[in-house]
Amino acid sequence: MSSSTPVLELAGVSKRFGGVQALEGVDLRLNGGSIHALLGENGAGKSTLVKIIAGVHTPDSGTLRLAGHEILLRGPSQARALGIAVIHQEPSLFPDLDVAENVFMGHPPLGRLGRIDWSRMRAETERLLANEGVTLDANAPVRGLSVADQQLIEITKALSLDARLLVMDEPTAALSPREVDRLFGIVRQLRERGVAVLFVSHRLEEVFDLCDEVTVLRDGLHVVTMPASRLTVADTIRHMVGRRVESLYPKVAAEIGDVVLEVRGLSRAGAFRDVSLTVRQGEIVGLAGLVGAGRTEVARVIFGIDRADSGEVLVRGKPTRIASPSAALAHGIAYVPEDRHQHGLILDFPIAANITLPILPRISRALLLDRQRERVLAEAGAKRLQIRATSVEQLASALSGGNQQKVVLAKWLAVEPTVLILDEPTRGIDVATKAEVHRIISELASQGLAILMISSELGEILGMSDRIFVMHEGSVTAEIDRDVADQEKLMYAATGQVAGHD
């Protein structure tokens, strides 16, 4: 039973990062003895809100009240000291320490002379585990334990701190159905003891199975808070995706030709299974899905970074063995990765060196780089994509995020591909530059390039794609043509729901 005074209340919370308003005037009440779901598309502001509750970020405005008293969290350690515990999708434990050492990391029980009381620490760990109905050896090393067991250790760690609020951020992403059931049993026990639980998940079936209340965020704004019993899946999806596709997506008409890229029954253990799709000349095919659906993993296999366990990739109807990125490039496939800093650019290199990196053999003579040829090609690429820089000798690190993304595009267009895979092509760039990148993508398709575009933004997928494949937990759940696609259809397929059912 939840009390009249919430464990934690957020009122009018706002947070901006540069030009991006991540949260604006958000209210949230988390009551003891209640499991509260936090939902929204990727980019809705969920992660920012969780980080504010965890003390990682300080809001620009608004207030936080813990048990009715206003607080200002100055860091995660202060949040933990106040009884706020956060469990992330990936457990953050020390693998070479045992269960008890992890549970009491940072706050071990002390004995005489201020020394750690090891026997008391292990006894207390065993008591906490027993209260949860968990059979784990307090002396067992964490290394080698399943993700599910590690999640339970994280919960035990929170209980050792007398947590009043438990925040669970996508805790079931790597768990089997049986492990999820066990985890939910323990979370329900915590609810019975009066703990407030904030549950962040993309899996709507879990939300309606577990949660008492639901809050939906959209574009950093609070949309609705309602009892879960008064919502249906259809209602929830409408609240999550209620946006119009605007002129942000300047789609140019393109003549669509023959199939250039075909994937048949592609599988990789632990990542995705039996994925089939096609991309035609001049076509932009969207690959949609929520975080963890397996989209990037499919792209990495097509580009030869990872190996498939089964299935095949065909280029222009011919089966191809793509065992490395260089083999993919030889078959005309280029890949713009999701993380431009880690995998797309060498930030300490000039623009020219980044753009021409994949084609060094073409601009070298007798193992010596032709600097003039490098500059001419780089300037042509920079002009084509309207990269704003002092010159192609400017370091990539000095460019804006949008211009860095254009450099990555120019780099892979320099290899003159027939297939271009784009993974989150506009992540982290401002709205105006997004429209520019969308224009470039559309023009490339109109020039005959076959484009496979991965995006977590439903508006981008709908606005730019001729056809859309949707993935959910490693499988393709739908293929939808542009003329019948809408956000509700995509969200149904991305959450594993059957369209038309509540």
Q: How far is CA 304 from CA 58, 318, 400, in A?
A: 42, 16, 30
Closest alpha carbon to 69 in 156, 28, 9, 125: 9
CA distance 46 to 27: 13
CATH topology of domain 8-241: Rossmann fold (3.40.50)
Could you tell me where in the chain the CATH 3.40.50.300 domains are found? Answer: 8-241, 254-332+418-497
> Regarding beta strands 196-200 and 165-169, do their DSSP bridges make them parallel or antiparallel, or are they unpaired?
parallel
pLDDT score at 1: 40
> What does the angle CA 327 – CA 332 – CA 333 come to, to the nearest 5 degrees?
75
DSSP at 310: E
Q: What is the CATH number of domain 254-332+418-497?
A: 3.40.50.300
The one-digit pLDDT tens for each residue of the chain (502 residues) are 445 789 999 999 999 988 778 999 999 999 999 999 999 876 788 989 999 999 999 999 999 999 999 999 989 889 988 989 888 766 778 988 999 998 898 888 898 888 988 999 999 898 888 877 778 888 888 887 877 788 888 888 887 878 899 998 888 766 667 778 878 888 898 899 899 999 998 778 889 999 999 999 988 999 999 999 999 887 887 888 764 444 568 888 889 999 999 999 999 999 999 999 999 999 999 999 987 889 999 999 999 999 999 999 999 999 998 999 999 999 999 998 887 767 778 888 889 988 888 888 888 887 788 888 888 888 988 888 888 888 898 898 888 777 888 888 888 888 889 999 999 888 766 556 777 888 889 999 999 999 999 998 888 899 999 999 999 999 999 999 999 999 889 988 998 875 544 4
pLDDT score at 414: 85
b/e string for 241-278 if b means 16 or more Cβ within 10 A? Answer: beeebeebbebeebebeebbbbbeebbbeebbbebebb
For 128, other C-beta atoms within 10 Å of its C-beta total: 20
Which residue type, as a one-letter code, is found at position 451?
Answer: I
Does the pTM surpass 0.75? The reply is no
pLDDT score at 42: 66
CA distance 181 to 39: 20
Q: For residue 470, what are the β-bridge partners?
A: 288, 478
CA distance 243 to 252: 22
pLDDT score at 499: 52
pLDDT score at 175: 67
